[in-house]
Amino acid sequence: MILVDPNKPVYRGNTHTHTQNSDGRKSFDEALDIYAALGHDFLVVTDHWKIGPETRRGKMLVMSGIEYDFLDVPNQALHVVGILPGGADPGLDREKDNRDYNYAIRRINEVGGAAVLAHPHWSLNTLDVMKNVGDVVGAEVYNAVSGLPFGPDRAVSTAQLDVAAANGRLFRFLCGDDTHYYLSEPGSGFTMVQADECTPEGIIAALKRGSFYCTQGPLVHAASYDPEARVFSVDCSPADMVVFYTDAPWAPARCVAEKGMTHAEYHAVDRDHFVRCEVIDASGKRAWISPVKA
């Protein structure tokens, strides 16, 4: 099973951005300039309950998106990002449709879009709710604005996503800047999408088939899992550590540390039901490869 294909093009983008069209501090135009200057291939603008236009800024593709938040999910928040081709409108009414997140996810899919569960750690999403979430392309493993100094220290959602995976619900991982303040969030995490072409349809199709990984900086050049041999293999930019996460309490060689390493492998043990990989570079930045069934 090829998880990152060394022979396919990869496009770098941010799937979660706010502007002054909701509670972001920069205008739509300023936001596009900031992300174009970062060299991103694509940007999805996801204002709260407001769909932005699809356009380009220089070489950068600007995709339509939206973020919905839902009331009455017991003891937690629940936010869903919709990535929408050509500004397609799921047709939700903020006053009427602010309770049923699975209806929103269904509508995003029905108009040809891709849905993402946003910042599950910030939201304190429970296992029951995460198992009930409908057809999403993944969840944000890293959300910049959910961390210091913008929010509580809940930028990284691996603990919850691992509990979900251990209970049979494997979310694929995306990074989202969730830019509001335009300080250190832009470009702090991005999703690397292996699309046939950098068009809205190409990016959405690649997200739906799971052809992506996400990162704060380190690059993954190739990754695969062989279910027969039960071996997870990764080739990456120079790293100080590669860590393989599973649900077994203990496994040999789970954590491989060697300065400047560019390859690592993990042999799953009997008790592993899923396996995923993190690449950590010398500055502590991480890349995440989504969990697969072991």
Q: Kindly give, in sequence order, each residue whose CB lies less than 8 Å from that of residue 161, ignoring residues fewer than 6 positions away.
A: 120, 139, 141, 171, 173, 291
Q: Are 176 and 118 in contact (CB under 8 A)?
A: yes
| Cβ closest to Zn ion, residue 21 vs residue 167 | 21
Nearer to Zn ion, 146 or 211 (CB): 146
CA-atom Rg of the chain in angstroms: 18
CB atoms within 10 A of CB 230: 15
Q: Which is nearer to Zn ion, 54 or 67 (CB)?
A: 67
Q: What phi and psi values does residue 137 have, to the nearest 5 degrees?
A: -80, -15
> Are the CB atoms for 273 and 246 separated by under 8 Å?
yes
Q: Find the shortest distance in angstroms from Cβ 69 to Zn ion.
A: 6
One-letter identity of residue 9: P
Measured distance CA(96)–CA(72) in Å, rounded:
13
Nearest to 220 by CA among 275, 188, 262: 262
Specify the residue, 175 or 236, whose C-beta has the smaller distance to Zn ion. Answer: 175
* Residues near Zn ion (CB under 5 A): 67, 79, 118, 178
Shortest Cβ distance from residue 77 to Zn ion (Å)? 7
State the minimum distance, in angstroms, from the CB of residue 81 to Zn ion: 7
Six-digit token string for 5: 């294909």
Closer CB to Zn ion, 118 or 141, in the complex? 118
- CA 216 to CA 235: how far, in whole Å? 17
Cα–Cα distance measured from residue 154 to residue 267, given in angstroms and rounded to the nearest whole number: 31
Which one, 67 or 185, has the nearer CB to Zn ion?
67
Q: How far is the CB of 118 from Zn ion (least distance, A)?
A: 5
CB of 99 to Zn ion, least distance (A): 16
Name the residue number minimizing CB distance to Zn ion: 79
Min CB(207)–Zn ion separation in Å? 17
Token pair 């590669």 is found at 242
